[in-house]
Every structure is written in C-alpha cells, then in structure tokens.
Amino acid sequence: MTNTARRSSIAAVLLASTLALVVGGMGAAQLRHAMAAGPMLVAPSGIAVNDDGEIYTGVHGGHVFMYDASGELRNAWTVPGAVGRLRLALVDGVLQVASEGAPTLHVYGLDGSALDTREEPSAFSRIGAENDTTFRTAAGEVYSLEGNSIVRREPAPVQAVVPALRWPLNTFARHPLSLGLLLFAGAFGPIAALFLGRAGRAE
C-alpha cells in the first residue's frame, strides 16, 4: 500500500469513527431521555379511540399503549403470546386485541384490566384492517398512525398527539442495542487508524 493510499485509509477510518460516535452519542442521549419519559412508541399497529378521547395502539413487541387525549401515556401492558402486528377493536365498551401470529383473542376493560382470553384463530382477520392505521370516532375526529407517531387529522388543524421520535433514535428505536455497537465502532476507529499508521512505518 502506498503512503498516499494509507493516509487516505486512515482519514476514512477516522471520519467514519467520528460519525459513528456523533450519531451513536446523539441516539444514546435521546434514548435516555425517551426512557425517562416512559416507554417509546415504536412501530405502532392498530388504533382505537374511546368516547373520552383515550387512544389505544399496539406497539412492537406485543404491547398495548393507552394515551389520554393530550398524548400523555396513561397505561401500558403486554398481550400474552402476541406475535407480529396487533389489531384493536372497541366492542360494547371493551377493547378486543388480536395478533396476526397467535390464535387468541384478548379482551380488556378500557382501563387496561384483563377481562377475558379465549381461543379464536380467526380473531385477527375478523377484527379486520379497518383500524390498522386510521380511526374515526363517533364525534367525527380522525386519528391516524404515521410512522412512530399518532396524529389527529380532523378536525383541523392537523396535530401530532404523540410526536414521532427524532433522528437518529427513530432509526434505531426498534433495536436500541445497535446504538451501543455504533459507539463501540466509533471508539475502535482511532485504534484501527493507529495500527494502519504503525504498519506503514514498519514497511
């Protein structure tokens, strides 16, 4: 390897490690802040809104989050045995929840209390895709899932009730351990550059 090529390689390694440290550090700081505020809304699926304006949505990992009308997280629980996306339906004053990969229907009170669990292989398809991303209340309000956020589209003006995570955390939120790998790669960069420099002097 020529000296010019080696210097270019060292510069590239140092630049890449600096970028990894910056992005990883920003994401880690955002993660600490987000976790202090409560569980993160990641890959939501299925939405329902009751007459009091309380919002329910399925979340990556088989969880259900419940927000009040102002977007404050009020409750969260895990759906036993859930696999894949969740679908939610408000039926006769209770919340029905089914996942695409499990043959079970779970029934909860509007406060999140578990009321019933029963085998129903067709529950996910029976609930249907109607409320996968958008829900219209009896009062005519329209809520939608947009990325990792919950938005009220009607009445105008459009309002983010639960804002999306900012970059770079929104990219790594589903696998936050990858932020640690970025930081590790960033810290390893100067060591790799040092070895490249020493190898050049040894030639």
- Pair 26, 50: CB distance under 8 Å: no
Phi, psi of 35 (to 5 degrees): -70, -30
Separation between Cα atoms, residue 187 and residue 42, nearest integer Å: 28
Cβ–Cβ under 8 Å, residues 63 and 26? no
**What's the CATH code, domain 45-162?**
2.40.10.480
Does residue 131 contact residue 87 with C-beta atoms inside 8 Å? yes
pLDDT in tens, 172-198: 777 777 878 877 888 877 776 677 666
Query: What are the tens digits of pLDDT across the range 46-67?
Result: 999 999 999 999 998 899 999 9
Point out the residues of the chain with pLDDT beneath 70: 1-3, 6, 27, 30-38, 169, 192-193, 196-203
- Rounded CA-CA distance 4/148 in Å is 46
Alpha carbon distance 141, 48 (integer Å): 12
Per-residue model confidence (pLDDT) at position 143: 97
Tokens 């900012």 belong to 166
Pick from 180, 194, 160: which is nearest to 21 by CA?
180
pTM of the model: 0.74
- Per-domain residue ranges for the chain? 3-37+169-202, 45-162
What is the pLDDT, as a whole number, of residue 119?
Answer: 96
Q: Which helix (H) or strand (E) holds 30?
A: helix 3-37
